[in-house]
Amino acid sequence: MPLPILNDMQPCAIVSPDATSIIGGQTLGFENQLRTEIVIYVGGIHEAYICAMIRFPRARSAAASFFKSNLSESEDLAITIRWRLNTFDISGASLDFDPRVKMLLPEHRQPDEFGILQVNLRPGERSLISGMGFPFQGKNGAIDGYVNSGCNIQGGWNLETIFGQASFMILVKNTIRPSLARFIDLAPRQIIAGNLYGNVHYWDINRYRNQMAFEKRVAHQDPVRYLFNSLNDAATVITQSIAQDNWWYAMDVQDVRKGKPPFLFLKDGDKPSAETDRFWVITRLSPGFVARFKRSIGSLTNPNTELSIAFGPPPSSSTFRDDGKPDRDDLGWSAKVVPIKNVWFEEYRGDQLYKDGGYFVLEEFFIGHGYSHPIFHLPPVANGDDDDVGLIRMARNVSLDGNITSEAAEPTVQFDAAYANMVMSEHSPSFRRYIKTVALQIIGVQGTRTKTTETLVSTTLLFLANPGTNKVHASASSHNAVLAFALMLYEKGAKVVKALQKQVMCDMPRHIPLVVRGYNIRKEVGSFIRLVIRGEIEWEMSTWSQPLSPCEWLLKLVDFDELEIDLLDSPKLFDLRGCARVRDFVVSSGTSHAASDKNQKEKNMTAQQERDERLQAEHWARELIKHLLVDIVKSADVLCTTTHMSRDTYYGAFRESAKAVVLTDAGSMSKAEAIVVWGPFFKPCAIGGDVGRKTRTFIDPDHVSDGKYANHYGPESQVSVLRHMMSSGNA
């Protein structure tokens, strides 16, 4: 591609609309300010633009993202406010244009050294924001949660206020005049390729518009661009975004190419769902990459996926790279895919108030530097009475910088001694001391999978006995781990409740916890129908038709075959049995065939009419069964799902209303998966697993199985939420 014909960068400062304060201008002589620069660009790679860059010193913070940075201390993080050609009007003037700006200048600076650029966006246009990534919530002046640079943004401004402006006043040196004149002359004559490739990442702003905390949100089809200088920068941006699913595909594209490749990545769709989506990727093409790319995409998709990859020609035969060699930015593919893992981050709702600062507590936990207290480990236990289970304790008094307090997040522990003693009877004295110390806020357990599962089961039963935490969402990355936890929880819950029934002194009403193992509801409906009609089903062949599934609970509800509800099961099940939906189902299922034959004889229906009526009846039956399954899920005391299934339409409402969270087998759970279940608010959480296990999202890049590359993820994804909890000083 042609080299830029204008690419000038000069120091600047951003003046507030009321001309009472300055942002940036460090190199203009404004002390204790951020470094800000203005860039004037006309070239053959990107559309002509003018932008203002706000730089945050990297050296003052060791944690600017979820993961450790590979950047050197000298490199800064920057946010760019970009104005594209034909989207704005610009004018220049001396400081006499607004005498108030003169009052803001440092004492040793002369007004005639400076000028003012007035940038006004045209109606319907907006700035393009590039840089560190969303969400730019502007929670405080120093955006401490993301950068912690120590450089305050003066005048009470925050990022949300700055980015939402339609008019910008930029303080510049007079030396910018020649570049501005060249921009006005050259920009209208610029000719660029129709397809723009390069180190650019596209977000579909229509899909993720609610992330943007602007006062007035307008949905645009054209995406927002992000310019990444390194893979780590891309990781920082994308992992702080809700589009974690896009990150999986992007990391695969990066890794199979073994380098620093520029790529364009666009996902289409207007709402999170488990349905098929369409993706577009454009990147630099090579024969080796084509083969590896096909294999890697195949490993990320289900066997029955419709996959179409097209390798298009270059934009033009005369296109050249910056080094003068012919450009090969000619790979474009669109795939109709169903991801194996569907992880969706909840969209940021700017108009929703955060309860008790809960969001920020969770945010600081994952960023890694929010809590002021270091981690406290329990002292060694004499004689090893904890076997191979270690407990991790966090400080009870959480202290956050700013005005956010966390006292309200600490639940009041209220459960009777008989119940607590029964639950903890099989555990060591140190566990009982520990569980009392943490007050059911964040509980960390590390050890073997079996031992930690047992400990988390006991913790869950304590959660259920406390009014502040008596609705629990439990999750793990794998189906096997979720099922093992659910079965153990129900078994121990039944054991405890039945033992308490024998104690005359225990006058508290007790029931076996209603534990529901959540699977795909639509498949549950099909499983129920096949079992009722055929009288049998191959349970072991179906991952969604397992013990404690909604299907099994519904079979118990209607007393199918030998399945029945235990007398000590949840009273909610008996209430459901008496509801109108169940009565309708039982009555209709017993009379539908006879009624169909009778109606056919009386009405003398044609074959087509009979078929239509049967289909209508089948649809009604499916809808009724689905509603019954959803009612069971809503009534659960504990819902157990995989991390990706927690965002399913029918399980999402339970996840949001849950009062506590349990993350089992957390040694193999990535932080992205954990925040999917735990977010968006801070809730009491028990985290346990084998810290020596690898996360499911990390596989050695050199690993090849049957000639196919496995899923490729960056080394940052190796850090599980359990290891993060132990090492970040936040637990």
| pLDDT for residue 101 is more than 80 | yes
Query: What's the pLDDT at 152?
Result: 41
CATH class of 358-513+639-698+706-727: alpha beta
CA 725 – CA 730 distance, rounded (Å): 6
Q: Which residues pair with 13 in a beta bridge?
A: 24, 171
Residues 6+ apart with CB under 8 A from 244: 238, 343, 344, 345, 672, 676
Q: At 724, list the tokens.
A: 């993060």
Question: How big is the CA angle at 674 (ends 668 and 678), to the nearest 5 degrees?
Answer: 150
Q: How much is the average pLDDT of 29-58?
A: 79
HSE, CB side, 13 Å, CA atoms: give it for residue 220: 16
**What does DSSP say about strands 263-268 and 277-283: parallel, antiparallel, or unpaired?**
antiparallel
CA 711 – CA 688 distance, rounded (Å): 25
Q: At 676, list the tokens.
A: 């999917």
CA 347 – CA 331 distance, rounded (Å): 31
CA 357 – CA 363 distance, rounded (Å): 10
Q: At 21, list the tokens.
A: 């304060």
> Of residues 242 and 189, which shows the higher confidence score?
189
Q: At 604, list the tokens.
A: 């003398």
Summarize pLDDT for 670-725 with one digit per residue, the tens.
877 887 888 766 788 888 888 777 776 544 445 555 555 444 444 556 678 887 77
Q: How much is the average pLDDT of 374-388?
A: 31
3-state helix, strand, coil split of the chain in percent (to 5) is 35, 20, 45
CA 692 – CA 689 distance, rounded (Å): 9
Percent of the chain with pLDDT over 90: 7
Residues 6+ apart with CB under 8 A from 40: 6, 7, 8, 50, 176, 179, 180, 182, 183
Contact of 49 with 83, CB cutoff 8 Å? yes
pLDDT-based confidence at 214, cuts 50/70/90?
very low
Residue 340 sits at φ, ψ, to 5 deg, of -65, -40
CA 422 – CA 559 distance, rounded (Å): 31
Give the mean pLDDT of the chain. Answer: 62
Summarize pLDDT for 513-550 with one digit per residue, the tens.
999 998 888 888 877 877 777 665 554 444 445 689 89
Q: How much is the average pLDDT of 483-487?
A: 92
Other beta carbons within 10 angstroms of residue 507's beta carbon come to 9
Which residue type sits at 276?
Answer: T
pLDDT-based confidence at 339, cuts 50/70/90?
very low
Sign of CA dihedral 351, 353, 357, 359: negative
| pLDDT for residue 665 is more than 80 | yes
3-state SS class at 306: coil
CA 630 – CA 622 distance, rounded (Å): 12
Burial letters 177-186, b for 16+ CB under 10 A, else e: eebbeebeee
Q: Determine which of 32-41, 289-298, 302-311, 612-621 has the lowest per-residue pLDDT on average.
A: 302-311
Query: What's the pLDDT at 218?
Result: 35
3-state SS class at 642: strand
| pLDDT for residue 190 is more than 70 | yes
Q: How much is the average pLDDT of 142-150?
A: 37
Q: How much is the average pLDDT of 168-173?
A: 92
CA 147 – CA 720 distance, rounded (Å): 23
Summarize pLDDT for 382-419 with one digit per residue, the tens.
333 333 444 443 332 222 222 222 333 333 444 566 77
> Of residues 269 and 342, which shows the higher confidence score?
269
CA 49 – CA 82 distance, rounded (Å): 7
Contact of 641 with 651, CB cutoff 8 Å? yes
Query: What's the pLDDT at 563?
Result: 78
Query: What's the pLDDT at 53?
Result: 86
Other beta carbons within 10 angstroms of residue 86's beta carbon come to 12
Percent of the chain with pLDDT over 70: 45
> Of residues 238 and 580, which shows the higher confidence score?
580
Residues 6+ apart with CB under 8 A from 34: 23, 24, 26, 54, 55, 56, 149, 151, 153
Query: What's the pLDDT at 138?
Result: 34
Q: Which residue has the tokens 């929010």?
A: 370
User: How far lies 8's CA from each of 153, 232, 455, 638, in Å?
Assistant: 25, 26, 61, 60
CA 360 – CA 400 distance, rounded (Å): 9
Residues 6+ apart with CB under 8 A from 298: 307, 708
Which H or E element spans position 281?
A: strand 277-283
Q: Which of 266, 391, 316 is nearest to 726 (CA)?
A: 391
> Of residues 561 and 22, which shows the higher confidence score?
22
Summarize pLDDT for 263-311 with one digit per residue, the tens.
433 333 333 332 323 333 444 445 555 565 555 455 444 455 554 444 4
Other beta carbons within 10 angstroms of residue 312's beta carbon come to 12
Q: Is 343 exposed, middle or buried (0-12, 13-18, 19+ CB in 10 A)?
A: buried
pTM for the model stands at: 0.47
Which residue type sits at 428?
Answer: S
Contact of 186 with 4, CB cutoff 8 Å? no
| pLDDT for residue 552 is more than 70 | yes
Which residue type sits at 580?
Answer: A
Length of the chain measured in residues: 731
The alpha carbons of the chain give a radius of gyration, in whole angstroms, of 30
Q: How much is the average pLDDT of 332-356?
A: 31
Which residue type sits at 70?
Answer: N
User: How far lies 203's CA from each of 86, 225, 227, 243, in Å?
Assistant: 21, 7, 11, 9
Query: What's the pLDDT at 489?
Result: 93
Peptide bond connecting 684 to the previous residue in cis, omega within 30 degrees of 0: no
pLDDT-based confidence at 171, cuts 50/70/90?
very high
pLDDT-based confidence at 554, cuts 50/70/90?
confident
Summarize pLDDT for 556-603 with one digit per residue, the tens.
888 777 778 888 888 888 888 777 556 555 545 544 444 445 454 455
Where along the chain do the CATH 3.40.50 domains lie?
358-513+639-698+706-727
